[in-house]
């Protein structure tokens, strides 16, 4: 369950249920197993509070990984997961889990993927 500040002023839209996808569950479980702490409340301990700005740390990680500056990384990650959810579970689940209206999803998020064109992913 996540708090939804953009929609909390609408009745029954103060929060929404968001699934933890298998890829994330595996990483969280790996982290839990490697951690010295029995119960970690936060995955990223240094970014607690309401005034998070993860853009700069994300870009620093990308630079160290040799990826260069990544334009709109969080929008792009949200867009790619939105597309995956639509393809795997349908538009109704994308609306429920990601939180878009059908118009917003179709206008800003749904994009063709390489597999839509029969092209294999570049290595």
Residues 65-107: tens digit of each pLDDT? 999 999 999 888 888 888 889 889 988 888 888 877 888 888 8
pLDDT of res. 29: 86
CA dihedral 111, 65, 48, 77 (to 10 degrees): 0
pTM value > 0.75:
no
Q: 11-65: per-residue pLDDT in tens?
A: 888 887 778 888 888 988 888 888 766 666 677 666 666 567 788 888 999 999 9
Domain-by-domain residue ranges, the chain? Answer: 1-33, 72-115
- Please check whether residue 20 is in contact with residue 43, taking contact to mean a CB–CB distance below 8 angstroms: no
């Amino acid at each position: 369950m996540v708090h939804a500040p953009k929609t909390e002023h609408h009745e029954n839209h103060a929060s929404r249920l968001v699934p933890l996808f298998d890829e994330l569950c595996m990483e969280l479980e790996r982290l839990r197993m490697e951690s010295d702490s029995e119960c970690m409340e936060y995955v990223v301990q240094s970014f607690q509070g309401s005034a998070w700005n993860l853009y700069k740390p994300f870009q620093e990680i990308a630079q160290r990984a040799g990826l260069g500056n990544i334009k709109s990384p969080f929008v792009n990650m949200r867009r790619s997961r939105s597309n995956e959810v639509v393809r795997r579970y349908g538009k109704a689940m994308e609306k429920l889990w990601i939180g878009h209206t059908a118009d917003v999803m179709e206008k800003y998020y749904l994009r063709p993927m390489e597999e839509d064109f029969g092209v294999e992913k570049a290595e």
